[in-house]
């Protein structure tokens, strides 16, 4: 029997078993402060697997945080808040490192030879070789002076209203 194909953003059980140990623990409440409500009051935090699936969904589809399907993932702002917490705790770096280590064991990475390609800045000489932007052709670059008139200045430099 063939395996059921999952959507590209659904986290499989096997993958979740490898990711779950890397997820940082949520910080508890500070003990020095007094709170008006009882400990444990309020909404329970979102399940980490649902949050991780929502993050994968955003990465795979390229949608905005606010476009997350509410019926599947709940509040987009709560998911984004956890994403920021995990990013600050270094979860994504640890996940990347674990993925590289696992791939290195399976396939082997040629660590002695690696290359990277990318453009981080605009080409400094591109304007000279390309010319002006075609959308700017109709724009006035300098305000023309009105013929036969002096440049405008206020009649009085300072007015005392005192």
Q: Return the HEC string of the chain.
A: CCCCCCCCCCCCHHHHHHHHHHCCCCCCCCCCCCCCCCCCCCCCCCCHHHHHHHHHHHHHHCCCHHHCCHHHHCCHHHHHHHHHHHHHHCHHHHHHHHHHHHHHHHCCCCCCCCCCCCCCCCCCCHHHHHCCCHHHCCCCCCCCCCCCCCCCCCCCCCCCCC
| Model confidence band, residue 34 (pLDDT cutoffs 50, 70, 90) | low
The pLDDT, as a whole number, for residue 140 is 62
Q: Tell me the chain's radius of gyration from C-alpha atoms.
A: 29
Whether 134 and 143 have beta carbons less than 8 Å apart is answered as no
Residue, of 57 and 153, whose pLDDT is higher:
57
pLDDT above 70 (res 130):
no
Q: What share of the chain in percent tops pLDDT 70?
A: 60
Instruction: Check whether 131 has a pLDDT greater than 60.
Output: yes
User: Pick from 51, 56, 49, 55: which is nearest to 16 by CA?
Assistant: 49
- As a whole number, mean pLDDT of residues 52-76 equals 90
């Amino acid at each position: 029997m063939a395996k059921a194909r999952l959507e590209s953003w659904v986290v499989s059980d096997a993958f979740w078993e490898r990711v779950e140990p890397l997820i940082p623990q949520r910080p508890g409440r500070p003990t020095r402060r007094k709170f008006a409500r009882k400990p444990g009051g309020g909404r329970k935090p979102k399940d980490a697997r649902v949050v991780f699936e929502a993050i994968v969904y955003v990465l795979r589809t390229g949608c905005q945080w606010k476009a997350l399907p509410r019926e599947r993932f709940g509040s987009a702002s709560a998911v984004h808040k956890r994403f920021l917490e995990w990013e600050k705790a270094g979860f994504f770096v640890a996940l990347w490192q674990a993925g590289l280590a696992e791939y290195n064991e399976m396939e082997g990475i040629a660590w002695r030879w690696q290359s990277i390609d990318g453009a981080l800045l605009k080409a400094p000489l591109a304007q000279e070789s390309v010319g002006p932007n075609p959308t700017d052709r109709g724009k006035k670059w300098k305000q023309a002076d009105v013929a036969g008139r002096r440049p405008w200045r206020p009649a009085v430099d300072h007015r005392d209203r005192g």
